[in-house]
A and B are shown apart, each in its own frame.
Chain A
Amino acid sequence: MIDTLLAFALPPELTADGLKSRLAAYVALQMRPPQPIERIYYDTFDWRLAKAGLALEQDLSGARASWRLYELATGDDVALLDAPTNSPFPGDGYAPFFSDALPPGELATVIKPLAAIRALLPLAHVAGTVTMLRVFNKDVKTVARVAVEDTHLVGSQTPLPTVARLLPVRGYDRRLDEVRLLMASMPDLQPSPNDPMVFATEAAGHVPGDYSSGLRIVLDPAERADEATRTIYRTLFEAMQRNEPGVRGDIDSEFLHDFRVSVRRTRSALSQITGVLPEAQVEHFKTEFGWLGQMTGPTRDLDVYLLQFDDFRADLPEYMRDRLDPLRDHLLHRQREEQAGLVRALDTTRYAKLRREWPRFLNKPTPARDTPENAAVPVGELASRQILRAYHRVVRQAAAVTADSPAEDVHEVRKSAKKLRYLLEFYSSLYPAEDLKTLVVELRQVQDILGEYQDLQVQIESLEGYAAEMQAAGDVPAATLMAIGALTGQLYSRELEVRQELMPILSRFTRPKLRRRFEATFDPPPPHSPDDDEPKDAESQPSTETENA
């Protein structure tokens, strides 16, 4: 620990001057006048830069705003960019921005593929002063620096702890260690995060790396099914809540995506994990989350078309591409409308009630009388039973699909496959990771092809719908309608191809060898009641959503 510790929080009464006097008893020092500092740290909501070991800092201390992307581990610069503070990019109120707005250059080259469709958010904005203490040797050569930072979060006058940061001078490691040990031996100095981004964002109430769109639920196979189920719901509800401000603000499309995935997972769990929580309330929440899912659908669909727009363009011959521009305008316009509608839905008392009642329900103990039949079953046992049941349903439906089956039958397989996938995610901590991985890879192939098939159908239908809307509103060039027609034609021929491709993938999933693997992994103990798990397929409303799961 001591070998890597480079920053110390000073007690409130200790100033830069005080620290200098203390250190001066042991090393030669010189203090420079305090300089103003102001910095903003950016990352995506899911910490894509931090997870890649990077931090993005905007330095507003000088006349020009300089941007610095650096390595968290070493503090080494990865890319730098100078931009006038008053330029439209980005200095406009420190708002979130997309990496597309970065001017071409090294910074953009590194950040674009990492951040991709996610917005970069200002996570912490700190300002104050830095006082540099220079530690020197007999030749008055600087051998280490101590930067004493007195800062506060902008917008709040409460000061952050004063931090003394050790800055090494190359080739003088031993002198740095001397100062480090000296400071570590002062009992009133507390270790502080070495990195200024980590320090600032933590002060602003964020924990670097604390959000991921993947689901991580840790369960104990022996715990009661009702407890485990509540844990699953709580995790999903927390993800919804964390994404809600971003959904309302429409900061980037992933907030709504992750919000919807949590809603869908919740609905899937409500319909699949039966006999564990009181039935009547489960039914009620099933309706409510179903409503919420519907409210979020149209905005998501439009987000997806906008994200895919460049691919749509690329599907057309070059001379036609610009003719799609009015469609993009229409999609943008509709997206804003639907987004406003979504925010209104989130402002309803119905949603407020759901947000209030759901956690209350999750915190209520299971009733002692009329205990649901599976409430006290160990979750490990129940999980295996549910997973196998879901697996067999997929196999049964997949085996029944022939080249002539109607599209609805194919969609039923898709929905069942998704339910199975969600169960595998909820219960992943109960099984060996390696075993699950192989099965999930198999399942994902089925999901991918079925998802593409469904998406193509929905896209064709929606594009035709948008074309009709544009026509009804008048003023749409004939060339645009023809371009949309050409596009749906392309999508339709792809749909026919996919329909051919999915047959062998479905039949592969039904092979006996895979069944033996599923059964070996989820080998269920004898059921304690033979009739308790009749499939209750409650997710009956037609799914018109386009998913990029």
Chain B
Amino acid sequence: MKIFALYNIKGGVGKTTSAVNLAWLSARDGANTLVWDLDPQGAATYCFRVKPKIKGGRKGLVRGKSDLDDLIKGTDYDNLDLLPADFSYRNMDIELSDTKKPERRFQKLLEPLADEYDHIFLDCPPGLTLSAESVFGAADVLLMPMIPATLSMRTTDQIEQFLKQEKVKHLQRLYFYTMVDRRKKLHRELLDRRSKAFLETIIPYASAAEQMAVYREPVFVYAPRSLPALAYEALWREVRERV
């Protein structure tokens, strides 16, 4: 089992779009795949047309009292399941701080799923929080989408510094640019200055990607030959080669 965390400190950089589309590709290739929507806003859950859990806070989930198995929903696609968002995730940091070894908490929760799934994609909420730390503890690969902007570069430094400080060594880092507009000089310049942790593939800015929330389907379903579809296909191939 490989666990991929789609994460960035910042919001609106394409985490959900990437999680949904990469998971779809993984499932299409025959791997049993799970998306865990950790963002209380539930964008991935919405894209898969599953209802988020609204009622009754799920304190039990983080404490491990609840069986993840019962919460998993099948999506419309073969080999692809979803652990839907839960509105109570907004309190996750508070709950985690009450548990022993919070940084190991997710790992413990995910262990029982190892038999069933080949790939798990964690769609993480933004922010450098306790839950982010717990995600880093559980994941094998940190997939970080970012928009080409000078400020974004600071983000990678922050993450690297944080991981160093927390002594997280096992985590493979793969960064990639999303919403790239090659007409912009800055975008082109930043692409040229990528470090080794960056993937070659870029996800171009395209309306097809934006429409995912309208169609509520992975881009491959409603626009299989669009630029983002081709780009995600290439990105997934590159990730498979690097991991």
Contact = CB atoms under 8 A, between A and B. Distances in A.
Nearest to B32: A77
Q: Which of B48, B72, B74, B75 has the largest number of chain A CB atoms within 10 A?
A: B74
Contacts, number: 29
B104 interface: no
Contacts of B81: 170
A141 B50 contact: yes
Contacts of A139: 49-51, 216
A170 B76 contact: no
Contact of B30 (A80, A141, A172): A80
Contacts of B75: 142
Contacts of A169: 73-74, 76
A171 B76 contact: no
A171 B49 contact: no
Nearest to B82: A171
Chain B: interface secondary structure? loop
Contacts of A172: 73-74
Interface string B1-36: 000000000000000000000000000001000000
A182 interface: no
Interface residues of A, number: 11
B150 to A, nearest CB: 40
A127 B96 CA distance: 54
Interface in B63-109: 71-76, 81
B71 to A, nearest CB: 8
Contacts of B51: 139
Interface in A149-175: 168-172
A170 B73 contact: yes
A172 B49 CA distance: 13
Given A140-B49, A141-B48, A141-B49, A171 B73 contact: yes
Q: Which of A134, A141, A142, A168 has the largest number of chain B CB atoms within 10 A?
A: A141
B48 A171 contact: no
B72 A141 contact: no
B142 to A, nearest CB: 28
Nearest to B73: A171
Contacts of A141: 48-50, 76
A80 B71 CA distance: 27
Contacts of B72: 170-171
Nearest to B49: A141
Contacts of A171: 71-74
Contacts of B50: 139, 141
B73 A142 contact: no
Nearest to B79: A77
Interface in A170-217: 170-172
A172 B76 CA distance: 12
Contacts of A140: 49, 216
Contact of B74 (A80, A134, A170): A170
Contacts of B71: 171
A171 B81 CA distance: 10
Contacts of A134: 76
A134 B48 CA distance: 15
A142 B81 CA distance: 12
A142 B78 CA distance: 12
A140 B75 CA distance: 11
A169 B75 CA distance: 7
Interface string B37-77: 00000000000111100000000000000000001111110
Interface in A56-103: 80
Pick the 9 closest A-B CB pairs, nearest first: A170-B74, A141-B49, A171-B73, A169-B74, A142-B76, A139-B49, A170-B72, A171-B72, A170-B81
Interface of B: 30, 48-51, 71-76, 81, 216
Interface of A: 80, 134, 139-142, 168-172
Given A141-B49, A141-B50, A170-B72, 15 more contacts: A80-B30, A139-B49, A139-B51, A139-B216, A140-B49, A141-B48, A141-B76, A142-B75, A170-B74, A171-B71, A171-B72, A171-B73, A171-B74, A172-B73, A172-B74
16 contacts: A80-B30, A134-B76, A139-B50, A140-B216, A141-B48, A141-B76, A142-B74, A142-B76, A169-B73, A169-B74, A169-B76, A170-B72, A170-B73, A170-B81, A171-B71, A171-B74
